[in-house]
Amino acid sequence: ISDFPTRHNYGLALWQSHFERILADWVRELGVPILRGCEVVGFAQHDSAVDIELSGDTSLRAEYLVGCDGGRSLVRKAAGIDFPGWDPSTSWLIAEVEMDEEPEFGIRRDRVGTHALNRRQGGEPVRVVLTERHLERTGDPSMSELRDALVAVYGTDYRLRSANWISRFTDM
């Protein structure tokens, strides 16, 4: 980033939950319901509507269906919309967790990448970002993988107790 021909040659980070809150507020202003904890598993386009199948044997009908969940979007793939890019070179775990031990907050860099532990206020969950040592992992990450990644970077899992959520993303 330091080579960018701009006086703002630095990065700023916002937590995913902050972006989600901003977007959710805007969507609510538009009167659009937000469905959480479900996944689009199928859909059928009709002249005036879309029938959508959700995980958990739920279905609904809508005027529009938007696929904006990145490279793995079922909606985008079914619509035949390509997701050009490159093969991923780095993978990260990101999570919001409860730990029984107070971690070393802040950013840590090593030969693998950049890692961070943060908490906005005392008593809130710990937010974790860890560069994974192995790229070939796919699918939903487990507590075990998060625990192993913490130990690999920090030498401990800080007695990881639970996770509100864990996700994996790449630079693709």
What per-residue confidence (pLDDT) applies to 30? 93
Q: Which residues in the chain show pLDDT less than 50?
A: none
Contacts of 114 (CB under 8 A, 6+ apart): 107, 108, 129, 131
Write the DSSP assignment of 115-155 as a string of letters: EEEE-SSTTSPEEEEEE-S-TT--SS--HHHHHHHHHHHHS
pLDDT at 97: 97
CB 52 within 8 A of CB 43: yes
pTM for this prediction: 0.65
pLDDT recorded at residue 128: 96
Nearest partner of 145 among 127, 118, 166, 165, judged by Cα: 166
Cα first-last separation, the chain: 18
CATH architecture of 91-170: 2-Layer Sandwich (3.30)
Of all residues in the chain, what percent are helix, strand and coil, respectively (each to 5)?
20, 30, 50
Domain ranges of the chain: 16-78, 91-170
Q: What pLDDT is recorded for position 157?
A: 98
The contacts of residue 100 (CB under 8 Å, 6+ apart) are 158, 159, 161
